[in-house]
Amino acid sequence: MFRSKINAYFVLILFFIASCSPKPTFLKKTGSPACVPSDPDLPFSQYVEDSRKNIEHILSDLRFANGATPYLGQYSAAQAAQMRGPFERLPEKESAGPGKGKGFLLIHGLTDSPYLMRSIADSLEQAYPNATIRAVLLPGHGTVAGDSLNMRHTDWMAVTKYGVRSFEKMETIFDLYLVGFSTGTALAIRHLQDNPKSSKIKGLILISTAVKAKSGAAFLSPYLRWVKEWLDTYSERDAVRYESFSVNAGAEFYLLTKNIIKSITPIDVPVLMAVSADDATIDADAARQFFCGKVTARRRGLIWYASRHAERNIDPPCGDIKEVKLGAVDREFQGTAYRFANYAHTALSMSPADPHYGVNGRYHQCKSYDTPPKMEKFYNCQKGSAKTIFGERDIATKAAKKELDYDYWRRGTFNPDYPRLERAIICFADETCDLQKSMDDESK
């Protein structure tokens, strides 16, 4: 009897020790997260530099302590900080020309970084070399995933306001466009709803529009975060964004978006949206209903990436929607063959040519196989093969694997249809351009 009690106590002690085992440093708060500038008039260039230095300092101390890079692609701390930080693109010359008087504020998504807006920034800069392009870093992002544990959506809204203010102070900017990806779309919408008299804002560009979470249990996250820190944790191998997802991140997204659809405030400025019907992160139908019911401006357009599943491809409930069919599974980009199943939430804003996330990018999204200590599938997914496929999470089933005949799947990190999206974005910022025509196939 005494021995059984000792054994029971021993098991309890082992359980306690296991449950209290040290967390990796990147899952702990740093005490120096990205935050809202304390000075609302801080020059944007200074904000960019201060943010980059802070990110590099934290990454150097916490992720490169042993001298080796933790990131797929062999990036240095300085390179990762440059990729993760806010940025700006200034006019190439002070003269009249394409983009003169235009400003674009780019707002990234949850657990992402401004890098997710790089392809769009490149496209805008090429089309409008005399425009001013700025991308903010949402507080709690850019450093390590542990800093997501206490970030707040009110701070995200405040940094969005800081970014807008940086343009409003400029006498040379007359037309401002808010360009959001995922959570960044909700921030753009909320800013306009809260500041309806912001006269410089001439339009919203909303990629993977996030007005409601995919999960029906999202409303529980504000309560769950008090008893649980993480929904998923990974080894943080992406130099651009967090791979681990905290309960707090989901809670703050829910709090940000819970009243967007309920708001009686219509969106009366022009709107361009792009949404995947198969999106596994946000509610695609809610996004489409938002477009049809809340966007009252005559100049509007929605690029709707059709689903693999027939039941999701219902007739559009309103006009101004361009449905893009999936097309062939086997594809080619600049001489590289690849296989594509459907459009992922994480993919729409990125060009296939991107050096990090593109077809030949240095990072391969194989998180579903990152299951230490059994890592053989992860490394095989990293190497890839002629049968490896890109797609959304819904293809990770036995039925889909049999149907699509793949060996490993990578969640999509680039948009094969990016040229269409690029044309539409460039056209959207030119009031003389036919927006609906720009969303058609280039051959038409």
Pairing of strands 175-181, 201-207: parallel
Residue of 357, 363, 375 lying closest to 75 (CA atoms):
363
Query: Rounded to the nearest 10 degrees, what angle do helices 183-194 and 247-257 cross at?
Result: 40
pLDDT, mean over the chain: 92
The pLDDT tens digits of the residues spanning 87-115 come to 999 997 766 789 999 999 999 999 999 99
Q: What pLDDT does 259 receive? A: 85
The pLDDT tens digits of the residues spanning 153-206 come to 999 999 999 999 999 999 999 999 999 999 999 999 999 999 877 779 999 999
Residue 21 clears pLDDT 70, i.e. is over it? no
Give the H or E element holding residue 189.
helix 183-194
- CA separation for the pair 113, 212 (Å, rounded): 20
pLDDT, mean of residues 298-307: 96
Q: What pLDDT does 65 receive? A: 87
**Span of 155-169, 307-321, 406-420 with lowest mean pLDDT:** 307-321
**More confident: 241 or 313:** 241
Residue 3 clears pLDDT 60, i.e. is over it? no
| Domain coordinates in residue numbering, the chain | 23-326+417-438
Encoding tokens for residue 39? 């000075």
Contact in structure between 177 and 167 (CB atoms under 8 Å): no
Any alpha helices (H) in 201-274, and if so which ranges?
A: 221-224, 247-257
Contact in structure between 192 and 269 (CB atoms under 8 Å): yes
pLDDT, mean of residues 240-259: 95
How many Å separate Cα 55 from the centre of its chain? Answer: 19
- CA separation for the pair 64, 59 (Å, rounded): 6
The pLDDT tens digits of the residues spanning 166-176 come to 999 999 999 99
For 120, counting Cβ atoms within 10 Å of its Cβ (0-12 exposed, 13-18 middle, 19+ buried), the class is: buried
**Span of 185-194, 259-268, 306-315, 351-360 with lowest mean pLDDT:** 306-315
Confidence label for 11 from pLDDT (cuts 50, 70 and 90): very low
**More confident: 146 or 216:** 146
- CA separation for the pair 32, 196 (Å, rounded): 34
Residue 2 clears pLDDT 50, i.e. is over it? no
- CA separation for the pair 232, 239 (Å, rounded): 18
Contact in structure between 320 and 301 (CB atoms under 8 Å): yes
Contact in structure between 346 and 321 (CB atoms under 8 Å): no
Confidence label for 22 from pLDDT (cuts 50, 70 and 90): low
Confidence label for 296 from pLDDT (cuts 50, 70 and 90): very high
pLDDT, mean of residues 428-443: 89
Q: What is the dihedral of CA 108, 112, 113, 115, to 10 degrees?
A: -90
Stated pTM of the model: 0.93
Confidence label for 5 from pLDDT (cuts 50, 70 and 90): very low
Contact in structure between 344 and 392 (CB atoms under 8 Å): yes
The pLDDT tens digits of the residues spanning 32-62 come to 999 999 999 999 999 999 999 999 999 999 9
Q: What pLDDT does 94 receive? A: 66
Coil, strand, or helix at residue 282?
A: strand
Contact in structure between 245 and 309 (CB atoms under 8 Å): no
Which CATH code is given to the segment(s) 23-326+417-438? 3.40.50.1820
pLDDT, mean of residues 270-296: 95
Q: Which contacts of 17-23 are long-range, i.e. CB under 8 A and separated by 24 or more positions?
A: 23/146
Confidence label for 388 from pLDDT (cuts 50, 70 and 90): very high
Amino acid (one-letter) located at 258: K
Residue 4 clears pLDDT 90, i.e. is over it? no
Strand boundaries in 1-112, DSSP class E: 87-89, 102-107
For 302, counting Cβ atoms within 10 Å of its Cβ (0-12 exposed, 13-18 middle, 19+ buried), the class is: buried
Pairing of strands 271-276, 300-305: parallel
- Which residues are CB-contacts of 137 (< 8 A; sequence separation ≥ 6)? 34, 51, 84, 85, 86, 108, 113, 114, 159
- CA separation for the pair 15, 17 (Å, rounded): 5
Residue with tokens 């651009």: 240
Residue of 396, 209, 238 lying closest to 305 (CA atoms):
209
